[in-house]
């Protein structure tokens, strides 16, 4: 099929590359000339594992090209995806300016040669599909009335569930595909488009084998509104699950229990499930906060106060501050201290810093008079460019980060951090304090390496140490 994707961000580039890998002929369009120039040179504009390889394979299979204008390509397309950003406004509601511009540009570029599907892949508030249909029609205003009447198209809502860092696997081997539409012509085209994914008939790309358990992917057909709600409801649920793990971990710290044990114990309950139960410094990224805020805003518009969602945001904001509290507990004074952040990206395997906990933690530490150093295998350059206001000293290695630091904080669980020589790092520091915000290390290993270690929800050891200290004092 002939496909156009508007927006070459994380979602648009991955969607375009994967659809072309499946054999569709894809054109990606973006108004950002520098991104398009990079893609035309065969370079990925974002850091995403396997994306570069899939882009190369996509060019050999269905074919993929990149442009700054929609004009000629929209007319040739069967399916036009809108995958532009929907960032939050100060009120919490989604900013639909990019979506509106994209939908109007689709209207301006359509002709009456065939029926087309305009697919909303951006995360948009309930009712936006109706808005897209109106905007596409408004975009046709320049065309003669007779031509306008002949243009045939339908709108589908097809929310995206990929995760940055594993976006290609998530797109080729998804848990489900959701398509919202009440129009059979639209659904037929969407079923044809996704047929290789649903039946998993494509050859897996080298290095990304198909999960053994995956024989078929469910394509769930819903109403437009249902599809729009599913995306928000799924993200909101995930924030609550992580927030719940963090809240329980905070209680574990106080009562002397080990949160990892507790999470293992509750995660084995098939009604709960083990994933997204890792306590840490809180979630970040471009989607969770924005989507929860947008859903709360929609609820308010309908006179409903979404209390669980409000609590989810509050718990997450507080969790970021636990890092500061732990540093204060260990160092007392933060003014003039040097704190080294291991990781800046909001999660491993991405250079995305949107709503990253590390950015918040660095800001707070700097405000409190601390000196901040940071090492991230990928995101340092992006942080320097996007946050010139942060006086961070960027380091080229974890060893350089540890040199003369008063404490290290693990903020992002990059895989390479697991293999660090902890004893060497501890020796380089003024005081070997490790606040492990991702429970990346075993407490025993970190302590044996010379660190004064504090993780998240690791209350059992602290309780044990307290008891031993108490016993020995009593004996004296």
Ligand X SMILES: NC(=O)c1ccc[n+]([C@@H]2O[C@H](COP(=O)([O-])OP(=O)(O)OC[C@H]3O[C@@H](n4cnc5c(N)ncnc54)[C@H](O)[C@@H]3O)[C@@H](O)[C@H]2O)c1
Interacting positions 340-369 with ligand X (CB under 6 A): none
Closest residue to ligand X, Cβ-based?
Answer: 9
Distance CA 69, CA 280 (A): 43
Q: Segment near ligand X (CB under 6 A), from 55-63, 81-89, 181-189, 237-245? A: 81-89
Contact pattern from residue 224 through residue 263 relative to ligand X, giving x for each residue in contact according to CB under 6 A and a dash for the rest:
----------------------------------------
Nearer to ligand X by Cβ, of 286 and 439: the residue is 286
Distance CA 19, CA 1 (A): 9
In the complex, minimum distance from the CB of residue 170 to ligand X, in angstroms, rounded to a whole number: 9
Residue 288 tokens, joined? 């969770």
In the complex, minimum distance from the CB of residue 200 to ligand X, in angstroms, rounded to a whole number: 22
Kindly determine how many residues on this chain lie close enough to bind ligand X according to the rule CB under 6 A. 27
* 29 scored as a contact of ligand X (CB under 6 A): yes
Nearer to ligand X by Cβ, of 162 and 425: the residue is 162
| Of the candidate residues 157, 286, 316, 338, the single one contacting ligand X (CB under 6 A) | 286
Distance CA 88, CA 330 (A): 37
Distance CA 324, CA 361 (A): 7
Strand-pairing partners, residue 394, are 374
* 84 scored as a contact of ligand X (CB under 6 A): yes
* 443 scored as a contact of ligand X (CB under 6 A): no
Q: Segment near ligand X (CB under 6 A), from 30-38, 308-316, 367-375, 461-469? A: 30-38
* 277 scored as a contact of ligand X (CB under 6 A): no
Q: Segment near ligand X (CB under 6 A), from 160-168, 323-331, 399-407, 449-457? A: 160-168
Residue 243 tokens, joined? 């927030």
* 32 scored as a contact of ligand X (CB under 6 A): yes
Cβ-count burial of 310 within 10 angstroms (0-12 exposed, 13-18 middle, 19+ buried)? middle
Distance CA 435, CA 255 (A): 19
- DSSP track, 132-183: HHHHHHHHGGGS-HHHHHH-EEEEEE------TTSHHHHHHS-SEEEEE-S-
Cβ pair 136, 40 in contact under 8 A: no
Distance CA 445, CA 43 (A): 40
In the complex, minimum distance from the CB of residue 237 to ligand X, in angstroms, rounded to a whole number: 15
Output the CA–CA distances (angstroms, integers) from residue 437 to 319, 322, 456, 471, in the order listed. 10, 9, 6, 30
Cβ-count burial of 157 within 10 angstroms (0-12 exposed, 13-18 middle, 19+ buried)? buried
Nearer to ligand X by Cβ, of 346 and 453: the residue is 346
* 6 scored as a contact of ligand X (CB under 6 A): yes
Cβ-count burial of 321 within 10 angstroms (0-12 exposed, 13-18 middle, 19+ buried)? middle
Active site includes 28? no
* 102 scored as a contact of ligand X (CB under 6 A): yes
Contact pattern from residue 164 through residue 203 relative to ligand X, giving x for each residue in contact according to CB under 6 A and a dash for the rest:
x---------------------------------------
DSSP for residue 339: E
* 160 scored as a contact of ligand X (CB under 6 A): yes
Nearer to ligand X by Cβ, of 123 and 278: the residue is 123
Output the CA–CA distances (angstroms, integers) from residue 387 to 9, 10, 356, 393, in the order listed. 20, 20, 12, 12
| Of the candidate residues 83, 252, 356, 433, the single one contacting ligand X (CB under 6 A) | 83
Nearer to ligand X by Cβ, of 242 and 257: the residue is 242
Question: HEC states along 395-449?
Answer: CCCHHHHHCCCCEEEECCCCHHHHCCCHHHHHHHCCCCEEEECCCCCCHHHHHHC
| Of the candidate residues 26, 263, 287, 342, the single one contacting ligand X (CB under 6 A) | 287
Please compute Rg for the chain using Cα positions.
25
Nearer to ligand X by Cβ, of 58 and 420: the residue is 58
* 162 scored as a contact of ligand X (CB under 6 A): yes
Terminal alpha carbon distance of the chain: 81
From 18, 28, 252, 287, active-site residue: 287
* 12 scored as a contact of ligand X (CB under 6 A): yes
* 101 scored as a contact of ligand X (CB under 6 A): yes
Positions marked catalytic: 287
Site residues (vs ligand X, CB under 6 A): 6-12, 29-32, 35, 83-86, 98, 101-102, 105, 122-123, 160, 162, 164, 286-287
């Amino acid at each position: 099929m002939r496909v156009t994707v508007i927006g070459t961000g994380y979602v648009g580039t991955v969607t375009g590359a994967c659809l072309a890998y499946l054999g569709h002929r894809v054109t990606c369009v973006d108004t950002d000339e520098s991104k398009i120039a990079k893609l035309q040179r065969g370079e990925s504009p974002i850091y995403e594992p396997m994306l570069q390889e899939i882009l190369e394979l996509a060019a050999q299979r269905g074919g993929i090209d990149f442009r700054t204008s929609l004009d000629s390509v929209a007319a040739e397309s069967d399916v036009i995806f809108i995958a532009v950003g929907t960032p939050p406004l100060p009120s919490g509601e989604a900013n639909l300016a990019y979506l509106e511009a994209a939908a109007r540009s689709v209207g301006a570029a359509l002709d009456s040669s065939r029926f087309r599907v305009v697919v909303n892949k951006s995360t948009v508030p309930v009712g936006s599909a109706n808005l897209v249909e109106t905007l596409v029609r408004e975009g046709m205003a320049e065309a003669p009335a007779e031509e306008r009447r002949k243009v045939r198209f339908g709108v589908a809502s097809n929310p995206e569930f990929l995760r940055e860092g594993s976006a290609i696997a998530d797109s080729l081997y998804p848990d489900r595909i959701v398509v919202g539409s009440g129009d059979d012509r639209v659904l037929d085209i969407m079923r044809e488009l996704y047929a290789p994914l649903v039946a998993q008939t494509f050859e897996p790309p080298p290095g990304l084998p198909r999960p053994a358990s995956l024989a078929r992917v469910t394509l769930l057909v819903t109403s437009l509104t249902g599809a729009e709600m599913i995306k928000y409801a799924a993200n909101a649920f995930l924030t609550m699950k992580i927030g719940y793990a963090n809240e329980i971990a905070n209680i574990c710290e106080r009562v002397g229990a080990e949160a990892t044990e507790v999470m293992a114990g509750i995660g084995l309950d098939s009604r709960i499930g083990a994933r997204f139960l890792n306590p840490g410094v809180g979630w970040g990224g471009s989607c969770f906060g924005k989507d929860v805020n947008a859903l709360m805003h929609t609820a308010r518009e309908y006179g409903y106060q979404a209390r669980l969602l409000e609590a989810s945001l509050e718990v997450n904001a507080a969790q970021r501050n636990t890092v500061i509290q732990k540093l204060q507990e260990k160092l007392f004074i933060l003014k003039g201290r040097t704190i080294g952040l291991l990781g800046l990206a909001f999660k491993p395997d991405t250079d995305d810093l949107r709503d990253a906990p590390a950015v918040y933690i660095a800001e707070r530490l700097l405000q409190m008079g601390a000196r901040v150093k940071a090492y991230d295998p990928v995101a340092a350059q992006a942080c320097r460019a996007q946050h010139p206001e942060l006086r961070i000293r960027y380091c080229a290695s974890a060893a350089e980060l540890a040199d003369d630091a008063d404490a290290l904080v693990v903020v992002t669980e990059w895989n390479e951090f697991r293999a660090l020589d902890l004893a060497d790092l501890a020796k380089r520091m003024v005081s070997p304090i490790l606040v492990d915000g991702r429970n990346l290390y075993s407490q025993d290993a970190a302590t044996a390496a010379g660190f004064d270690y504090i993780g998240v929800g690791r209350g059992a050891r602290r309780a044990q140490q307290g008891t031993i200290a108490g016993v020995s004092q009593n004996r004296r």
